[in-house]
Amino acid sequence: MKATLYRADLRYPHLQLYTASSGSVPGLDTLYLLLEDKNVNGLGEVRINIAYLNGYPAERVLSDVIRALHQLDLSQPASTLLLTLPHLLADFLAPTRMMLDIALHDLIARQEGISVAQLAGAENSETVSYHTNQTLFWTPMDQMLQQATAYVERGFTQLKLRVGVASFAEDEARLSALRRRFGHEISLSADANGQWQPEDARRHLPALAKFDMRYLEQPVSDANAHYYPALADASPVPLMLDESMSSEADLDRILQLNGKIMAHLKLVKMGGIAPTIDAARRLNAAGVPFMIGQMNEGGAATAAALHVARACQPAYAELYGADGLGNDPVHGLTYHQGLLSSQPGAGLGIRFTPSQAEFIQEFEQ
């Protein structure tokens, strides 16, 4: 098996990325791993400029990926590598594990002539689609409403507003403006990215009841996660954890709350498709609602999250990552009428154009 590493800086020509936790994000620094085995290819992807999420500088992730590829025995069958990946890469970063896991799933599914969703347990999933929300990033009010209108006109009626950047009065004004413009034509939620102090959250949560929100994501930081049981008991809005759902220990804590709080599962935090599927199955078995989601990411990472959602059937999905990218070397995803779809066929239903990315290194054993 041959492995080739590529890198690209992805940009949105018509979208400004800004959240309370990330600040302004000019582009997506992205790695691609192309696996080639007897004329069958598999593609993995990971965005690496996400230190605001995991604390890892981009160059540390790149170094970790290269170290992992030097360590792996690429003469082994892809299925063997995937089964042993948790043990082989136990000491490596979650983004590294994610990229390798996605590439191996895509390769194995293509070798078997099925979709990754089918490989993960979904039935009747040659064509893979799932409903997705769209996120309204922090922009001036008029620009935010213009963006919301554009999403609704395209059939995307699940909208999530980023809050916690300015005052709570400003957050309320934005939520009010969305309800005035769209009424209950939209499903409305919000994400504070952990920016509220616990005492502020206690005051703010009752005031959100009038907006009829589906959920509020991460009102307080992970450092204050011990406040969540009491906040959930007092909140008129269902709460969901994102930054505080990054490990097996976090998953156990959410399960112990017996459905009081929802979970937001991201492949980049869990370490790929397989561990995310495992976490989703545990949540489903316990009757805890969850979301399969992502950050802003390119087409391969977005396709992986899509196939996981199709296999797991979450209550919510956040799959907007590749929507509107102007220079993505991955093609094959379609956003239409509230749905994200990949192309029919084997693997992730995408294709990769290496000439649109920068060659980094080749590995072969």
Q: Are strands 2-10 and 316-317 parallel, antiparallel or unpaired?
A: unpaired
pLDDT higher than threshold 90 for residue 39: yes
Alpha helices in the chain (DSSP H): 51-54, 58-71, 78-88, 94-112, 116-119, 141-153, 168-182, 198-207, 228-234, 248-256, 267-270, 273-286, 299-312
> What average pLDDT does the segment 246-250 reach?
93
pLDDT-above-70 percentage for the chain: 99
Residue 271 domain boundaries:
129-351
Residue at 37 is within a domain: yes
Band (359; pLDDT cuts 50, 70, 90): very high
Instruction: Examine the domain organization and report whether 197 and 336 are in the same domain.
Output: yes
Mean pLDDT score across all residues of the chain = 95
- Please check whether residues 242 and 324 belong to one and the same domain: yes
Report, as an integer, the average pLDDT of 32-45.
97
pLDDT tens figures, 144-172 = 999 999 999 999 999 999 999 999 999 99
Q: Verify that 359 and 337 share a domain, yes or no.
A: no
Pair 248, 321 in one domain: yes
Residue 124: inside a domain: no
Domain membership of residue 121 (yes or no) is no
Residue 20: predicted pLDDT: 62
Looking up residue 299, the CATH number of its domain turns out to be 3.20.20.120
pTM for the model: 0.96
Would you say 131 and 339 are in contact if contact means Cβ atoms under 8 Å apart?
yes
Residue 118 located in a structural domain:
no
Specify if 123 maps to a domain.
no
Q: How many domains does the chain have?
A: 2
C-alpha–C-alpha distance, residues 168 and 131, integer Å = 30
User: What is the model's pLDDT at position 125?
Assistant: 67
pLDDT confidence of residue 17: 81
> Looking at the structure, do residues 284 and 184 belong to the same domain, yes or no?
yes
The C-alpha angle with vertex 282 and arms to 95 and 275, in degrees rounded to 5, equals 20
Residue 288 belongs to a domain: yes
Same domain? 55 vs 171: no
Residues 277 and 339 in one domain: yes
Same domain, residue pair 341 and 359: no
> Quick check: 245 pLDDT over 70?
yes
| CA neighbor of 174 nearest in space, from 120, 218, 219, 213 | 213
Determine phi and psi for 164, rounding to 5 degrees: 85, 5
**CA–CA separation, 21 and 173 (whole Å):** 21
Tell me if 119 is assigned to some domain.
Answer: no
Work out the average pLDDT over 300-314.
Answer: 98
Same domain, residue pair 109 and 171: no
Query: Would you say residue 229 has pLDDT above 90?
Result: yes
CATH classification of the domain holding 17: 3.30.390.10
Do residues 358 and 334 both lie within one domain?
no
Check whether residue 297 and residue 257 sit in a common domain.
Answer: yes
Q: Which of 112, 99, 117 is nearest to 62 (CA)?
A: 99
Within a domain: residue 21? yes
Write down the pLDDT at residue 19: 78
Question: Are 92 and 183 part of one and the same domain?
Answer: no
